């Protein structure tokens, strides 16, 4: 049986020493978060608001620890000023794993406006963005995203497509 997309992300995090996981969860991220919580080499920090994760992971990098911020696209809006003022300003390598809301397979119209803005917000911040769509590409793209963030000292956002997560139906 082939591995699920999140199992591959978990393995690539582990292989690349990305072990500080800050999150405001999504159902589509639940299995990945559970796997990280079950592995003692990871430090998993649930947040009250996504912005906190920007500070925590920036502090982690300053102290020599790699991490990733896991959240729904709704959390991106909550994080914008902190992304500008910490990883972008200080050139801190930064990984985001985002599950889209308000796009395909969405039941909730109230999630649409901010959800549709998410990729434009990443563009406006000049953040490198890659969409994970096919299980067979996940290993390579996640490796490349981690490599790019830490070699260019910039944020890289990985968007886990609804092809992988199934979206959010009623």
Give contact residues for other proteins (rule: CB under 8 A).
20, 43, 45-49, 51-65, 67, 81-82, 84-86, 89-92, 153
Pairing of strands 128-132, 155-160: parallel
- Residue number, 4 or 80, with CB nearest to other proteins: 80
- Residue number, 81 or 110, with CB nearest to other proteins: 81
DSSP letter assigned to residue 168 = B
- What lies within 8 Å, CB to CB, of 112 at 6+ separation is 102, 106
- Residue number, 43 or 133, with CB nearest to other proteins: 43
Minimum Å gap between C-beta 46 and other proteins is 8
Minimum Å gap between C-beta 31 and other proteins is 23
Block residue for tokens 């620890």: 65
Q: CA 109 to CA 64: how far, in whole Å?
A: 41
**How is residue 93 written in tokens?**
């390598």
- Residue number, 45 or 163, with CB nearest to other proteins: 45
- Alpha helix (H) residue ranges in 41-134: 50-62, 74-77, 80-83, 89-90, 112-124
Minimum Å gap between C-beta 18 and other proteins is 13
Minimum Å gap between C-beta 61 and other proteins is 8
């Amino acid at each position: 049986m082939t591995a699920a997309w999140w199992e591959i992300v978990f393995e690539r995090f582990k292989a690349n020493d990305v072990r500080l996981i800050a999150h405001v969860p999504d159902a589509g991220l639940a299995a990945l978060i559970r796997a990280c919580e079950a592995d003692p080499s990871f430090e998993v920090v649930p947040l009250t608001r996504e912005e906190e994760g920007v500070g925590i992971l920036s502090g982690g990098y300053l102290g020599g620890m790699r991490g990733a911020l896991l959240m729904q696209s709704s959390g991106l809006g909550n994080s914008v000023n902190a992304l500008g003022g910490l990883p972008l300003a200080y050139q801190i390598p930064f990984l985001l794993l985002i599950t889209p809301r308000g796009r395909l397979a969405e039941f909730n119209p109230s999630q649409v406006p901010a959800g549709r803005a998410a990729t434009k917000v990443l563009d406006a911040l000049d953040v490198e963005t890659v969409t994970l769509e096919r299980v067979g590409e996940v290993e390579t793209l996640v490796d490349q995203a981690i490599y790019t963030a830490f070699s260019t000292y910039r944020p890289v956002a990985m968007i886990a497509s609804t092809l992988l997560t199934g979206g959010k139906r009623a």
